[in-house]
Structure 1
Amino acid sequence: MVMLQTILAFVVALGSLVTIHELGHYLVARWCGVKILRFSVGMGKVIFSRKLGVDQTEWAISILPLGGYVKMLDAREQDVSEISEQDLLREFSRQSVWKRIAIVAAGPIANFLLAILLFTGLYLHGVPEPMAKIRVPSETSAAYQAGLRHGDLVTAVNGQRVQTWTELHWKLLQLGLAKSDASLVVQRINDNVNLKVESRELGLSLSRLTDAELESDFLTKLGFSVARPAAILQGLEAGGPASRAGLLPGDQILTIDGKAVLDGLEFTEIINASSDKSLRLLVKRGQQELTLNVTPETDVIRGEKIGRIKVQLMLAPEMLSVVNSPMSAVIKASVKTWETSMLTFKMLGKMLTGDVSWKNLTGPITIADYAGQTSRTGLISYLSFIALISISLGVMNLLPIPVLDGGHLLYYSLEVLTGKPVSERFGEIAQRAGVVLLMSLMAVAFFNDIARLMS
């Protein structure tokens, strides 16, 4: 069932995105007066079709669902010797260069508009995300040295407001790629002054991060991650080590063997690493503190000994659902789409210069995996995934590779500059080179996908 859901989620996502892309070409071509012969959802052999409209455009469904195409009246691809003079005026290559540019650019633009539409809907609905509250486990980390402390709530980065962990991560990633440092405004609870909330501005150095570090979880390398709840027991298994030790639901673990416990995640890590070892716990129960001893039982998983005391803890971070007004949602969605597009272009550029590894290039196997994962998580995650893939599809089609939209836009740009179209001979050579380049990129992407599966 998991495999079936993954395949279905992948087909729906990619099939709908390609259809939207081709619909962009179709609508602008019609607007420019070009005659459309066929609009196909899917590739390969046509399994169903019907001709509609004054032009008798063939609307078709083809056997391979991962794709689609618009077939226009085009003298470069078909014999037009028997076409009427009236229809010849609607032939693609006879249109002005600006109309051809508009038709070709409409596909990627449709993908960007779809992403904006999806993000707008998500921002109007409200997307549950972790708060921008940080976890700083090590005093030797760059984050701690910069003045950040566990539990700090980040409210702004370089003067721009942030509310969620995603926003914080995104803005720091952009600054890291630009080799710029960050100025963080944080809210901190002062335990010494009746839990008063204080605001502080702290500087965080990002310029020293390498491109390789930015490719991975760079925030962890800086020494912080999303904050987790305190180590408060939610439930105990009857007769388990915790129950036998006298622990109760609602107990908060303050220290283990005299060392302060940061949160529930650290408590779990210590217990897992302490099988058959007696631990002394300082526990807060209500208004009193008491000391209890517990010995985790051993559980062998994949040949590794894991300590268990049979308790449940809340490890999920504090969540925040931000609901935006219609205007704010549109603006925020547009900015998100623009920034994601620019970041994708930057990463591709860094791949070409060797600053970023080609291992980051993913193919259909990885996309299918993420499609399945997000669809199982929920509709919001799945729609967010589709929006991001739509942006990637738009960006990839704008690359100046001859077989892609970006290659054709390059031809037409040269035509605008020189006043004459690119020669057929040059176009043929460039087309073949483009096919080779595109196939090479696909081979690298497939190799990376398989390598991920193997690892």
Structure 2
Amino acid sequence: MNLLIELLAFAVAIGVLVVVHEYGHYSVARLCGVKVLRFSIGFGKPLFQWVSPKTGTEWTIAALPLGGYVKMLDERETSGAPIPADMLPQAFNRKSVWRRFAIVAAGPIANFLLAIVLFALVFATGVTEPAAVVAAPAPNTPAAMAGFDGGETIVAVRTGNAGESEQVRSWSDLRWKLLGAVFDHKRVVLSAKDAHGTSDFQLDLRGLSEKDVDDDFMSHLGFEPGGGKLTVAGVQPGSAAQKAGLAAGDRLRAVDGIPTDNATAFIAYVKSHAGKPVTLQVERGAPAGPAGQTAGKLEDISLVPQSQRDDATGQQVGRIGAELATQVPSIDVRYGPVESLQLGARRTWDLAVYSVRMFGRMIIGEASLKNLSGPVTIADYAGKSARLGPSAFLSFLALVSISLGVLNLLPIPVLDGGHLLYYLVEAVTGKVVSDRWQLVFQRAGLACIVALSAIALFNDLARLIHF
């Protein structure tokens, strides 16, 4: 059933993105007076064809649905048959360089516009997200050095002491507001509320390395969602947790005197204490604890995490054999129509800039090529987001639409960006890039695309088999 959901979600996602991208080319071509011969969704053998009696465009759905194309009237692609004189003004190659530029750029722009609309829908309809409550940060992280103890609710962020303060509505909102500051290695001021009032915390991001941004940068900053309940959902037979007396339903309050309300931080602490005794403060309720316990009673339980090999790193880490469940406080986030569009445009811009920066860092070796993903990973996330609900799937669709727009704008021949580069050269020099050089660049661009596709597919397979 999950596989079927993934396949259907993937088909819908790719279908929508391809149609929007190609329709961008098609609509601007029509506005510029170019005759469109074919609008194809997919490649290869046509499965369905229909010719518009008004425009003469052949609409096609082909067998291989991983893309599409718009074929326009062009004197360079006539297969030897001359174009009738009365149709020459409708040929793509006869249009001015700026009209050709607009037609080619319209595809990626359509993807960005789609992302803005999808994000605006998510913001306008509302979504339930974790509140911006922080858990106790790990020692020596920027959050810990800023003075966070855990339990504070971040309500605003500003860049530097003189920057404009921006309201923080949720954990996701906080993450996006910090992302740009992390890339730019800036200082930010976070305003947070606790039981004693509102305080400002100076967060210095200048020492964060590029590798930290590749991974979960919020964890590197020391920020994890907090303020909730961390409970034991199950205990493995024969594990350190079972031997120590932990049971399903026990609430974990602290580890070695450090308050804990976040599974990620708790697991990291246990991993770093392989073979070393730790003391858990546990709150037990009557239904889940041993017989005779009273609800809300606190107990200290000592145990020694068992040393096991971590498949991901190959290192020995500590494990106690308990399944954990975290319930964090959540908040319903909803915006008005105008604000939703503004936020959608800003989120699209931020993600596009982030994608370009990440790709640039991969080229110069400052970021891992493991960040590239292919169709297998996209299908997997399409299915997961579809199961989470409409908001998650729309957000996923917007993210992939932005990635598709950015990818097509890269100055690689055979992509839209490569053609745009030709037109810029033509606009500056007044001369068309020769067919000979275009052929050379096209072969080089095709080699780049094949290499990137191979890396993305390898990363997909590596994620599937975990090596």
Q: Distance in 1 between matches of 2:278 and 2:427?
A: 78
Q: Distance in 1 between matches of 2:77 and 2:439?
A: 13
Q: Distance in 1 between matches of 2:458 and 2:123?
A: 36
- Note the 1:261-272 alignment, pairs <5 A: 261-263=259-261, 265=263
CA drift of 1:221 comes to 2.3
Q: Which piece of structure 1 moves more, 133-142 or 404-413? A: 133-142
Q: Distance in 1 between matches of 2:399 and 2:93?
A: 33
8 A Cα contact 1:144 1:223, kept in partner:
yes
Q: Distance in 2 between matches of 1:278 and 1:66?
A: 52
1:420 matched to 2:431? The reply is yes
CA drift of 1:32 comes to 0.7
8 A Cα contact 1:230 1:263, kept in partner:
yes
8 A Cα contact 1:92 1:100, kept in partner:
yes
CA drift of 1:289 comes to 7.3
**Partner SS for 2:77:** coil
1:259 matched to 2:270? The reply is no
8 A Cα contact 1:271 1:307, kept in partner:
no
Q: Which piece of structure 1 moves more, 216-225 or 420-429? A: 216-225
CA drift of 1:107 comes to 0.3
8 A Cα contact 2:40 2:60, kept in partner:
yes
8 A Cα contact 2:282 2:301, kept in partner:
no
8 A Cα contact 2:104 2:419, kept in partner:
yes
RMSD: 3.6
- Alpha carbons of structure 1 residues 315 and 42: separation in structure 2 relative to 1, 3 Å: same
For 2:202, the aligned partner's letter is: G
- Alpha carbons of structure 1 residues 95 and 208: separation in structure 2 relative to 1, 3 Å: same
**What corresponds to 2:457 in structure 1?**
446
**Partner SS for 1:48:** strand
For 1:424, the aligned partner's letter is: D
Q: Which piece of structure 1 moves more, 353-362 or 387-396? A: 353-362
**What corresponds to 2:219 in structure 1?**
220
| CA offset digits 1:112-135 (Å, max 9, x no partner) | 010011111111101211111111
**Partner SS for 1:355:** coil
Which of 358, 382, 402 is the aligned partner of 2:413?
402
- Note the 1:368-379 alignment, pairs <5 A: 368-379=379-390
- Alpha carbons of structure 1 residues 168 and 282: separation in structure 2 relative to 1, 3 Å: closer
| CA offset digits 1:246-268 (Å, max 9, x no partner) | x998x976567x83643374998
Name stretches of at least 5 consecutive residues in structure 1 with no aligned partner. 191-197, 236-240
**What corresponds to 1:202 in structure 2?**
201
Q: Distance in 1 between matches of 2:281 and 2:81?
A: 89
Q: Distance in 1 between matches of 2:399 and 2:334?
A: 20
CA drift of 1:138 comes to 3.5
- Alpha carbons of structure 1 residues 418 and 279: separation in structure 2 relative to 1, 3 Å: closer
1:437 matched to 2:448? The reply is yes
8 A Cα contact 1:138 1:223, kept in partner:
yes
- Note the 1:36-435 alignment, pairs <5 A: 36-79=36-79, 81-158=81-158, 159-190=165-196, 198-230=197-229, 259=257, 261-263=259-261, 265=263, 283=283, 290=297, 306=320, 315-435=326-446
8 A Cα contact 2:138 2:265, kept in partner:
no
Q: Which piece of structure 1 moves more, 199-208 or 134-143? A: 134-143
**Partner SS for 1:83:** coil
**What corresponds to 1:21 in structure 2?**
21
8 A Cα contact 1:233 1:313, kept in partner:
yes
**Partner SS for 1:436:** helix
**What corresponds to 1:195 in structure 2?**
none
For 2:95, the aligned partner's letter is: Q
Q: Distance in 2 between matches of 1:71 and 1:224?
A: 50
- Alpha carbons of structure 1 residues 414 and 350: separation in structure 2 relative to 1, 3 Å: same
Name stretches of at least 5 consecutive residues in structure 2 with no aligned partner. 159-164, 235-240, 286-293, 311-317
8 A Cα contact 2:10 2:379, kept in partner:
yes
Q: Distance in 1 between matches of 2:17 and 2:264?
A: 42
Question: How many aligned positions are there?
Answer: 437
**What corresponds to 2:11 in structure 1?**
11
Q: Distance in 1 between matches of 2:381 and 2:458?
A: 17
8 A Cα contact 2:280 2:301, kept in partner:
yes
Q: Distance in 2 between matches of 1:103 and 1:389?
A: 22
- Alpha carbons of structure 1 residues 147 and 432: separation in structure 2 relative to 1, 3 Å: same
Q: Distance in 1 between matches of 2:192 and 2:228?
A: 18
Q: Distance in 2 between matches of 1:351 and 1:294?
A: 47
8 A Cα contact 1:229 1:314, kept in partner:
no
- Alpha carbons of structure 1 residues 292 and 433: separation in structure 2 relative to 1, 3 Å: closer
Identical positions, percent: 41
Q: Distance in 2 between matches of 1:424 and 1:267?
A: 59
**Partner SS for 1:209:** coil
For 1:164, the aligned partner's letter is: S
Q: Which piece of structure 1 moves more, 166-175 or 28-37? A: 166-175
For 2:173, the aligned partner's letter is: E
Normalising to structure 1: TM-score of the pair? 0.85
